[in-house]
Structure 1
Amino acid sequence: MVFGTTHKVKSHRLGRRRKKGGSRMVVAPWIVITLVCVLVASGLTWGFVALMRSGCSGPIYRVTVAVAPSLFGTLEDAAQEWEATQPEASTGQCIGAEIREVSARDAQAGMSTNWEEKTLGPRPIAWVPDSQAWASYLGSSEATAGIVAAADPLVLGEASSVLAVPDSKAAELGWTGGEPPTWADVVAAAQAGDITIAAANPRRSTEGLVAMLNAAGDGAGGLSAEAMAAWKTATGTGALAADADELLAAYAETPDPTRVMTALDYQVDDFNAENDPADPLVAVSPAGTNVSAVATYLVLGGGWVSKSDAGIAEQFGSFLRGEVESGAFEDPELGPVDDPAAALAQTTTEAVGEAVNAWRVGREELHVLFLVDRSSSTGAETVSYNGDDLTAGDAAVQTAIATVQAMESNSRAGLWEYGVGAGDDAPYREVADLAELSDDHRETLETDLYDVSEDSYDGGSPLYDTLVAARDYMNGHATDGALSVIVVLTNSSRDEVSEGSAADTAAALTEQGGSTVVYTVGFGETDPENLTTLAAATGGSYVQAPSEGDVLDAIGG
């Protein structure tokens, strides 16, 4: 609950404890009366003022602060403490801060493209990323540099960039108890086959981003092209995951003594405390690790930020600054920073932008056609998505929107819907052509997907005919150097409308040829057998629908 508003954005952490917060104890009226009497009698007038608010007047006006999940609890507590001091605007109105949990990557992507209020909440006036590198990345683009250009970052603390290494492997390689390896040593060990590097995606996670900046750094805050090429090669042989949570969860399920994972220091501690593995992980900080995850508070300068809202956010920032300088601000994920200026100078805006762009070079461009099932079955089943109970069809639409938001701007995307009667002469409708994800096309696609969620077609699901036609379309639009993909989103694995069976359709897809790969995403109680048959015929696979977020990693993006 965020100041009376149900909080629906789930944390991606491994269960780290919150600093404070929690449920409130209900207090009987006679206790309150007694407490007031004691406070007054003892001269503690601040207690009486807290109970009898008499400073500002009117309803509390709150500005939105987007906060990374690892810092959400601490910032929520700080906002409540600030509000208890009765801050007020120049007009005398009561003011406050509404803390919204938004990953740093989602916030950066939302401010770079089209902020999706339905998923992320209101556009933020202030931002607390868990690494200043995300603000640097936002500032590296001319189109979005103004959002953070005037910000005066307040350093809240930092987490160290480390490698999570099984203790047995770290001891074998001599990485504990003496001089730590350099990043070049780590890459060399991967090239020799002694380890595999399982990296978190630097475009999706803080731990992946700071690891890349360290591994590819030139030691002076810039980028080494040679080191970047070596890092890309080394991480290309391992598992590229969305974040360290995913890497660590996979390790917990199937421990691998050769696997070395990018992480932050507290994530390694949490993993060992929560899993008590037989071969615990040790946090190895390679020599030359100059970039940490520096958490900051920034008042934004986007066109949506009014002068009055910015002023309120600055007042909250002043309160936080006082807490930090007095030592009262503490977060279990963060270590203190002795020299904030040096922490902010660990890398530059130009270096971060160059590093992220260099990491992308050589990776396949992604072309995706979404096939969204709008047959009657999609409205008859309820599933959970993002903590809400939605129809399977609406969950499919939300998954498609999240995937569009996660795709790179040089990718291409299109949209079809299908159901009996969807098209004039076909059981499908071509809603949006395959096109590059410019800001305009991304916004158009999201609008089209919301419009599609209003459509419903009586009868069965004509998947087979639609899929054959869609693959013919995508094969016709295939280009060299691009990964051509169809993503089917459905809760129906049976098709009693099209001619033939799933096996017949799979044979037709095989005969059709082409490079387009099909991924079938199943929601609810769908039987994955037929969906697997269809996808496998093209070299793709069946994907169980996520309970939140996108399917980009599952389709090779």
Structure 2
Amino acid sequence: MGEHRGGSGARGISKGPILVVVLIVLIVAGFFGWKALSNRIDDQGQQAAGTCVEGNKTLDVTADPSIAPQIEELAKRYTQTSPVVRDHCITVVVHGAPSASVSTALEAGPAASWDDAALGPRPSLWIPTSSFELAPLAGKAVINGDPRSLASSPIVLATGPETAAALAGAASSWKSLPSDLTVALPVGSTETSMAAQAIAADVADAGAGPVTTDQAKSAQVNAALSARALQFQSLPTPPTSTAEALGALSAGTPDSVKAVPATEQSIAQSANAAMTTYSPAGATPVADYPAVIVSGSGIDETASRAAAQFADFMREPNQSQLFVGAGFRVEGQDLPDLGAVSPAKISSTLKPASAETAAALGDIVANPVSPRSATILMDTSASMGTDDGGATRLANVAAAVNTQLGRSPDASDIGLREFSTGTDGKPSERILVPGGSLSEPNRRATITDFLNGLRAGGKTSKYPALASSYKAAVDGFDAGRVNSVLLITSSTPDESTTTRAELLSAIAAAGNPSRPVQVDVIVVGAGDDVSTLQDVSDRTGGTLVRVDSTSDPALAATVTKMLS
């Protein structure tokens, strides 16, 4: 009989499900492995950043000395946070330097050399006193972005309590301050520049400004600023800085300033029982301490980013409280406690003027125009018809005189004469505009019309013309002001029949010690025969200046000096 295989033998297990399970396990394990590796890589990246793989970097900050102590303290706080910018560990170092000096250095351009000894390293971040100091930097490619204020303090007047009360009672504005109030206007001071713009804005009815260049060069602004500057400069020892002026006022120094334009914060720091503040009515100039990110040689992207981050750090409420505690104002925070000084109320803030306008106002403060009685004696001989830079010598001289007439105060008394020889060869002197006050209607326009209408011709007859004009000036002497004759002539020798001896004799005969009239002379062109005119100038207390070319800016500067 045949046998059959038993039905109880074991069956084989399918491999498909097992493979699926294994695959799932591998995928899950791979995912968590990749995740762990990714985290490890991130941790390593963070550790690399935290250890500054690019190394250490110093952020150089320059601040005006008036706010440098607070910036230094904030720099320490910021550095203690271990800031890292673009894989660099940042350390902030603060240097103090006057804003005006830094502005002048930056104005030279981003590639210009830098005086480390005087100003510290070229900064990546600069905190000047005010945005007023940024005007000269427009278009110079040295500022990165739009500077924003860190803190502020208005420009007010430091003065005595009685004076402040009187000013408040009269609601005095910048232009209506009493004429006998000696205001400190030290040349080159930031506070002086800001006060000058406030005075100009008030005089020109410019509101909150900015003051324009035409307004700055107007006779009204020139007269107002010149009067203030002359009064200050006539002090026995005028203070040379705002800080020195505040010290003199605080100490009650006799024969010194009675009011000092300064920041509210600086006044509060030095105020005593003899000194308080007054805020003139009208637009108020404000020291807004902008954070300026600087561009230029040696300043890379890391430095710029670090500068921006540090500026943001200083604006944080808990950090900016440091400014408030020092007497500065900070937007969004309460007014500072200024002790005995009450915070000024600001109705409007004066906008900074352009660099050209600021320079024009600064020139008035540095070279104020005093009211005077002057006869302008113009040489219209053929020698003044020489072409000089595209126009005749005579046209260039007329333009320079016209410019100065616009600056001269209304109280000045000006006359105009011209000389040459007539068609008959004889000396010819004409009184074009008799002496008279510039406050008279149309006097400036009349003098300008005659100046523009002058034509060169004939020979020069300066000796007889000068003798005649000098005698007329002595006879018409105006007490209480400078009296002068301004002769503008070529270097061509006199061609009249009047001799040197006769001219000197005529000057001596007309002179009167109780009626001093100085003869100022501008000689145009090269030439050696000026000894006679130099003698006349020396004997009358005047000045002789030679100008090689009438197209040179030196001519206008000389005319300004001799009619100021």
Q: TM-score scaled to structure 1, two decimals? A: 0.48
